[in-house]
Chain A
Amino acid sequence: MPLTAILFVVFIVGTAIALSWPLGRYMRWAMDPAPAGGVAARFTGAFQWTGGRIARVQQDWKRYVVTMLIFNVVMFIVSFSILALQQYLPLNPDGKGAIDGSLVFNTAASFTSNTNLQHYSGEVSLSYFSQLGALMWLQFVSAATGIAALAALARGLAGRESVGNFFVDVQRATFLVLLPAALVVASLMLIGGMPMTFQGAAHVMTLEGAEQVIARGPVAAFLTIKQLGTNGGGFFGPNSTHPLENPNFWTNALSMISIVLIPMACVWMFGRIVGRLRHAAVVFGVMLVLLLAKITGAVYFESAPTAAFADLPITQNVGNLEGKEMRFGATSGPTWAVLTTSTSNGSVGAMHDSLNPLTGVMPMVGMWLNATFGGVGVGMINMFLYIIVAVFIAGMMVGRSPEYLGWRVESREVRLAILALVAHGLFILGGTAIFAATPWGTEALNNTGPHGFSEVLYEFSSASANTDRASRGWATTRSPGNVSTGTIMLLARFIPIILPLAIVGSLMTKRRTAESAGTLGVDDGTFAAMLLLTILIVGALTFFPAGTLGPVAEHFAYAVR
């Protein structure tokens, strides 16, 4: 890798790590304040007032999950209604019309589940009211749901009597974590040159005298929470490749940092609430190793030239440029691709469909594992599943019944963890299998051969990993695709939240055992190696055959050529 590329990656990832530490500290203060006194506790009082009687009780994990689901159902209904009725609602300067029913379902499901798979193109189909009132609103509250769930999980593991109260937690996450962060970052984005207007599209007369319609809108506000909340749904169709959604190098860098910032801080917050910062550091390290490995792979493979131009008189000295913007620099595209898929964000800074085949593997690996920092809150929760499996196997290897942080891991916990992992594999592989073999999928493809297969695989990976938009160019206006991915997104969102909370609920009923030199240490390098091995074998290898038939086959196809 050239020095500039290394410097670029170090700059982005390093800044994010450096900022994640104080933010993690702050998030612990905001999400899990000491019961009495202090500013945060006063906020708790306010949130209890907003929430009413039900916000004043300490919930067990079941109540927590039920209230979370109820709130999310309401979120879904509200956003569904706004999208479905947008032609009758205000803030519609360009007079956007009605949207197809299955697309409304898909979009509402997509943003409720923090997935932001976009089967629509923002500037084409949606009014400003839909963008802000439905989508941007969901980008706040769905991200907050994830942070709240992680706080609950951590409290359970810390051995508290209760996992907390969802209605209070979701407000803490929204108002104390996401809102301040969004205000700061959005202001910086504005300074960087991002538009923020309620005026309709600009109609311009070009120098050559042609008419050009330039869609614009309240982008800065929307984009910021899109990145911070690992939502990823862009204001514009092509997301952060659009010059009005990402005007220059510095907004691009800030966007990339924003993508991983809160997911990174979530690991620290988890460590602080559980009271095991060293363990959090080990988990953070494992995530970072995976992240850097993927970035290295992506940047390396993307430095290969565009294969389609091979025999033409074209100078290719900066790698594959198809689907990339000049202003972000050559390293940005692949790095962004890895960051965004690792964190289940899904915004794009280059067109993923046009990445070199093996570069394209890296984002997919990110979605298959779904735990390299992962979505806000839920990334760490997904990692928790791998930790349970790793602890289970490693625990036996040190000659004790497996324990995690002193909690005995037994059949019930293992069953729930495996179930969640099975579900993830089933959604991706099952969905791909059905759509790859039927006209539902094959007719929607942009490309043929292994690359077309990759598109389907990518689509279902991103739906299941709550990652992305249809950036692989799967033409996505058909009902079966909308309904199936919509359903998968909802299931894939809530299964990996409910099952881990159930695990913690089950752990909390047990007697906690004391830790000693004989118990499995979860804060050293050996455990990190064990965790890495578990993630790679249980997580990544599941997708080996599918990956082989998609990007790998494509890569070797023209490596041979």
Chain B
Amino acid sequence: MQSSHVRKRMSVASLTDPQIIVPAVGSAFAKLDPRTLVKNPVMFVVEIVAALSTVFLLQDVLARDGQDLGFALQIVAWLWFTILFANFAEAVAEGRGKAQASTLRQTREETIAKLIVDEKTELTVPTPASKLGLGQIVLVEAGDLIPSDGEVVEGVASVNEAAVTGESAPVVREAGGDRSAVTGGTLVVSDWLKVRITAAPGTTFLDRMIRLVEAPSARRHPTKLRLTVLLAGLTLIFLIVVATIPSFASYAGGTIPLLVLAALFVALIPTTIGALLSAIGIAGMDRLVRFNVLAMSGRAVEAAGDVDTLLLDKTGTITLGNREAAEFIPMKGASEQELADAAQIASLADETPEGRSIVVLAKEKYGIRGRDIHELGATFIPFSAQTRMSGVDIGGSWIRKGAVDAVLVHLDASGTQGNRKKTTGLTEAGHEIDAIAESISKSGGTPLAVAKDGKLLGVIHLKDIVKGGIRERFAELRRMGIRTIMITGDNPMTAAAIAAEAGVDDFLAQATPEDKLKLIRAEQAKGKLVAMCGDGTNDAPALAQSDVGVAMNTGTQAAREAGNMVDLDSNPTKLIEIVEIGKQLLMTRGALTTFSIANDVAKYFAIIPAMFIALYPQLDALNVMGLATPQSAILSAIIFNALIIIALIPLALRGISYRPLGAAAVLRRNLLIYGLGGLIVPFIGIKLIDVLVTALHLA
């Protein structure tokens, strides 16, 4: 499938890359600043606890009361490590984005634009790009960097957009139509363009992109906020749990050291998910970026996971962009061979994919070898929007192929056969070809009439080719509960045939932009979230209305602004992957939350007996892990609590493995792995650490 081997724009730095690790270690310390940490309530609370514990430790040191400070020292150290590990996770996640941003920044060097001051004489004045105002028109010639985002008003040129998309093959940009948008920082490689500036300095696409990849954490993720509320609530519950213990202990006639309470508190509150929450979000955005999709908001990424209905354009998404010749259907009185021969000659010089597919079919099915058009002495008549035909002239003889209508008109003009406009009705041949054309349309194909020297020979059946594997893909989506709707300009008959072949759930034929908008509103009224992609200016309202609107980077400026994501590869099939990335992001958050909370069971069993054993020696029976001493038990729990953060960083960054299954199956799987795993793993982990701690005589 096309989308499965999407190019990677930047060389992706791996986790172990020192370029990311080294600065991340530094920034882990920088992030200890309470002003930054306060955004993460769980870790902020840990920091307060760690700071207070440090003060108590200092008090003990100063008092020199001769007690063993080694244990206390270790607890305090591990409290700080817990925060540092959390900061480190976030810093590593941010590392990739930072590296990308600095690469992007290099391309945003100050350019001197050629500002056109007089339209008639085309007099230009060199002006720094940062001084360009909205609506001003600049001239960009081969070798120039386009100074800012804009709309081509005149000219056609090849533009290398590698700076933005990473794709080095140049693309064509021209005035009018859907390819009129240019991006600041991209390079004109041939010809020239006149560009009207559409972005104020500092708000260009490149500027936005840098901001997006550099500080993904600054964006609001609604679910992350909600989760933070939950985690803060749990922290509060555990605060109550721990805060009441001293009073319970005093009933039993004992006291619990403050450090032990601090350790219990930090072990119980959901530090694991608290530490990784930010990293998971950043990594999710980063996965999109590496996928060459820029999300304009965190909300959009999450919405992608919630999508119920996908609107997919037929061409390019469901079918290959090009149709292929599938069959030659001769008219009465013409042979198949004759038709194939004429079609092949007419297509020899036709470099369009349809033309080439006709040559291929003629060879494969009728054994007609390729011929050289010059040897035949033929002149190629290329396709034009006016004639809607192409063909060849060989001496006095001619062959034309094109839309059935157009060919009939041509025949009529040459005065031979089948007049449908000027005379009263269709000729017999006219009726016959209409019948053939209709049956082709019904089957989802496109008819192409072929005429030679004033005689209709027959019709070429051009077929839409449904992409390989797309059917399975839609089946997957259906299992995930997502409905697919194909959008096409084709007539309903053709659309129905392709829809059936591709396995989409529904289709919208002869779709106008208004129809699309109406469909989106109707779906939303049913309580569904809708995703779509689009590129044209007239897609803009639908893009804006949809919950997830992916604009193609090749599209118009209007489309790019209306969507909440931009696909730099302009590959509409990616909508499916975007949905998956959105889901994976949420799943990773949920799974690690479950894991984090489930861990508490083992931590209780490690710390509670250790804590109360001085009060009631019989509580050793609760020490189910058989931890060596109370001190080693508490230390092991707190070490496990810190190390698990480091251990889970790769998972947080990669996201949990994703399978396109229904919600019930996904929940069962994740609950088994992260729920049950979260119950069991810490029992093993804490025991192992305890063995190690005891062996090293740390406690």
Docked-complex contact A514 and B527, CB < 8 angstroms = yes
Closest chain B residue to A431, Cβ basis: B244
Measured between beta carbons, the chain A residues less than 8 angstroms from B674 are: 397
Report the separation of the CA atoms of residues A436 and B245 in the bound assembly, to the nearest whole angstrom: 11
Docked-complex contact A392 and B226, CB < 8 angstroms = yes
- A156 in contact (CB, < 8 A): no
Measured between beta carbons, the chain A residues less than 8 angstroms from B479 are: 517
- B663 in contact (CB, < 8 A): yes
- A415 in contact (CB, < 8 A): yes
Docked-complex contact B244 and A518, CB < 8 angstroms = no
Docked-complex contact B481 and A518, CB < 8 angstroms = yes
The residues in A between 382 and 412 inclusive whose CB is less than 8 angstroms from any CB of B are: 389, 392-402, 406, 409-411
Report the separation of the CA atoms of residues A514 and B663 in the bound assembly, to the nearest whole angstrom: 14
Stretch of A83-91, A215-223, A526-534 on the interface side = A526-534
Report the separation of the CA atoms of residues A542 and B482 in the bound assembly, to the nearest whole angstrom: 39
Measured between beta carbons, the chain A residues less than 8 angstroms from B480 are: 517-518
**B interface, by DSSP: helix, strand, loop or mixed?**
helix
Docked-complex contact A541 and B601, CB < 8 angstroms = yes
Measured between beta carbons, the chain B residues less than 8 angstroms from A430 are: 240, 244
Give the distance to chain A from B524, nearest Cβ to Cβ, in Å.
8
The residues in A between 511 and 545 inclusive whose CB is less than 8 angstroms from any CB of B are: 511-514, 516-521, 524, 526-527, 529-530, 533, 537-538, 541-542, 544-545
- A419 in contact (CB, < 8 A): yes
- A437 in contact (CB, < 8 A): yes
Measured between beta carbons, the chain A residues less than 8 angstroms from B232 are: 418
Measured between beta carbons, the chain B residues less than 8 angstroms from A530 are: 667, 671, 675
Docked-complex contact B244 and A418, CB < 8 angstroms = no
Closest chain B residue to A436, Cβ basis: B251
- A54 in contact (CB, < 8 A): no
Report the separation of the CA atoms of residues A559 and B618 in the bound assembly, to the nearest whole angstrom: 9
- A421 in contact (CB, < 8 A): yes
- B305 in contact (CB, < 8 A): yes
Stretch of A226-234, A280-288, A550-558 on the interface side = A550-558
Given contacts A421-B237, A541-B604, contact A429 B244 (CB under 8 A): yes
- B480, B609, B616 pick with most chain A CB within 10 angstroms: B616
Given contacts A418-B229, A453-B252, contact A529 B671 (CB under 8 A): yes
Docked-complex contact B245 and A545, CB < 8 angstroms = yes
- A263 in contact (CB, < 8 A): no
Measured between beta carbons, the chain B residues less than 8 angstroms from A399 are: 305, 582-584, 586-587, 658, 663, 666
- A188 in contact (CB, < 8 A): no
- B526 in contact (CB, < 8 A): yes
Docked-complex contact B252 and A521, CB < 8 angstroms = no
* 8 Å CB contact of A450 from B483, B616, B621: B616
Closest chain B residue to A560, Cβ basis: B618
The 0/1 profile, CB within 8 Å of B marked 1, for residues 359-389 of chain A is 0000000000000000000000000000001
- A447 in contact (CB, < 8 A): no
Give the distance to chain B from A280, nearest Cβ to Cβ, in Å.
18
Measured between beta carbons, the chain A residues less than 8 angstroms from B483 are: 516
Docked-complex contact B306 and A400, CB < 8 angstroms = yes
- B608 in contact (CB, < 8 A): yes
Docked-complex contact B527 and A511, CB < 8 angstroms = yes
Give the distance to chain A from B189, nearest Cβ to Cβ, in Å.
42
- B571 in contact (CB, < 8 A): no
Closest chain B residue to A524, Cβ basis: B664
- B249 in contact (CB, < 8 A): yes
Measured between beta carbons, the chain B residues less than 8 angstroms from A402 are: 223, 226
* 8 Å CB contact of A414 from B233, B527, B598, B611: B233
Give the distance to chain A from B686, nearest Cβ to Cβ, in Å.
16
Report the separation of the CA atoms of residues A560 and B234 in the bound assembly, to the nearest whole angstrom: 36
Measured between beta carbons, the chain A residues less than 8 angstroms from B288 are: none
- A432 in contact (CB, < 8 A): yes
Docked-complex contact A538 and B601, CB < 8 angstroms = no
Report the separation of the CA atoms of residues A521 and B303 in the bound assembly, to the nearest whole angstrom: 19
* 8 Å CB contact of A396 from B236, B587, B664: B587
Measured between beta carbons, the chain A residues less than 8 angstroms from B583 are: 398-400
Docked-complex contact B618 and A520, CB < 8 angstroms = no
* 8 Å CB contact of B250 from A394, A421, A437, A546: A437
- A422 in contact (CB, < 8 A): yes
Measured between beta carbons, the chain B residues less than 8 angstroms from A434 are: 247
Give the distance to chain B from A165, nearest Cβ to Cβ, in Å.
28
Report the separation of the CA atoms of residues A344 and B594 in the bound assembly, to the nearest whole angstrom: 29
The residues in A between 325 and 347 inclusive whose CB is less than 8 angstroms from any CB of B are: none
The residues in A between 415 and 464 inclusive whose CB is less than 8 angstroms from any CB of B are: 415, 418-419, 421-422, 425-426, 429-430, 432-434, 436-437, 442, 450, 452-453, 456
The 0/1 profile, CB within 8 Å of B marked 1, for residues 194-216 of chain A is 00000000000000000000000
- A549 in contact (CB, < 8 A): yes
- B507 in contact (CB, < 8 A): no
The residues in B between 302 and 361 inclusive whose CB is less than 8 angstroms from any CB of A are: 302-303, 305-306, 308
Q: How large is the interface on A (under 10, 10 to 19, 20 to 34, 35 or more residues)?
A: 35 or more
- A72 in contact (CB, < 8 A): no
Docked-complex contact A521 and B251, CB < 8 angstroms = no
Report the separation of the CA atoms of residues A546 and B233 in the bound assembly, to the nearest whole angstrom: 20
Give the distance to chain B from A544, nearest Cβ to Cβ, in Å.
5
- B390 in contact (CB, < 8 A): no
- B670 in contact (CB, < 8 A): yes
- A484 in contact (CB, < 8 A): no
- A548 in contact (CB, < 8 A): yes
Report the separation of the CA atoms of residues A548 and B663 in the bound assembly, to the nearest whole angstrom: 38
The residues in B between 607 and 634 inclusive whose CB is less than 8 angstroms from any CB of A are: 608-609, 611-612, 615-616, 618-619, 621-622
- B668 in contact (CB, < 8 A): yes
Report the separation of the CA atoms of residues A553 and B589 in the bound assembly, to the nearest whole angstrom: 38
* 8 Å CB contact of B240 from A414, A429, A518, A538: A429
Measured between beta carbons, the chain B residues less than 8 angstroms from A450 are: 252, 616
The 0/1 profile, CB within 8 Å of B marked 1, for residues 51-76 of chain A is 00000000000000000000000000
The residues in B between 418 and 449 inclusive whose CB is less than 8 angstroms from any CB of A are: none
Measured between beta carbons, the chain B residues less than 8 angstroms from A511 are: 527
- B695 in contact (CB, < 8 A): no
Docked-complex contact B616 and A396, CB < 8 angstroms = no
Closest chain B residue to A409, Cβ basis: B226
Report the separation of the CA atoms of residues A553 and B670 in the bound assembly, to the nearest whole angstrom: 36
Closest chain A residue to B245, Cβ basis: A545
Given contacts A394-B667, A396-B593, contact A549 B241 (CB under 8 A): no
Measured between beta carbons, the chain A residues less than 8 angstroms from B250 are: 436-437
Measured between beta carbons, the chain B residues less than 8 angstroms from A442 are: 251
Give the distance to chain A from B210, nearest Cβ to Cβ, in Å.
29
Given contacts A396-B586, A450-B252, contact A436 B247 (CB under 8 A): yes
Measured between beta carbons, the chain A residues less than 8 angstroms from B662 are: 517-518
Docked-complex contact A527 and B667, CB < 8 angstroms = yes
Docked-complex contact A556 and B482, CB < 8 angstroms = no
Closest chain A residue to B227, Cβ basis: A396
Given contacts A513-B528, A537-B600, A556-B616, contact A397 B667 (CB under 8 A): yes
Given contacts A394-B667, A399-B586, contact A542 B237 (CB under 8 A): yes
Report the separation of the CA atoms of residues A548 and B604 in the bound assembly, to the nearest whole angstrom: 10
Docked-complex contact A526 and B590, CB < 8 angstroms = no
Docked-complex contact A545 and B248, CB < 8 angstroms = yes
Measured between beta carbons, the chain B residues less than 8 angstroms from A394 are: 590, 667, 671
The 3 closest A-B pairs by CB, nearest first: A518-B481, A396-B590, A418-B233
Could you show 15 A-B contacts with beta carbons less than 8 Å apart? Answer: A394-B590, A394-B671, A396-B589, A396-B590, A398-B667, A398-B670, A399-B305, A419-B233, A430-B244, A521-B663, A533-B598, A533-B671, A544-B241, A545-B608, A556-B618
Interface residue ranges, A against B (CB under 8 Å): 389, 392-402, 406, 409-411, 414-415, 418-419, 421-422, 425-426, 429-430, 432-434, 436-437, 442, 450, 452-453, 456, 511-514, 516-521, 524, 526-527, 529-530, 533, 537-538, 541-542, 544-546, 548-549, 552-553, 556-557, 559-560
Interface residue ranges, B against A (CB under 8 Å): 222-223, 225-227, 229-230, 232-234, 236-238, 240-245, 247-252, 302-303, 305-306, 308, 478-483, 526-529, 582-584, 586-587, 589-591, 593-594, 597-598, 600-601, 604, 608-609, 611-612, 615-616, 618-619, 621-622, 658, 662-664, 666-668, 670-671, 674-675
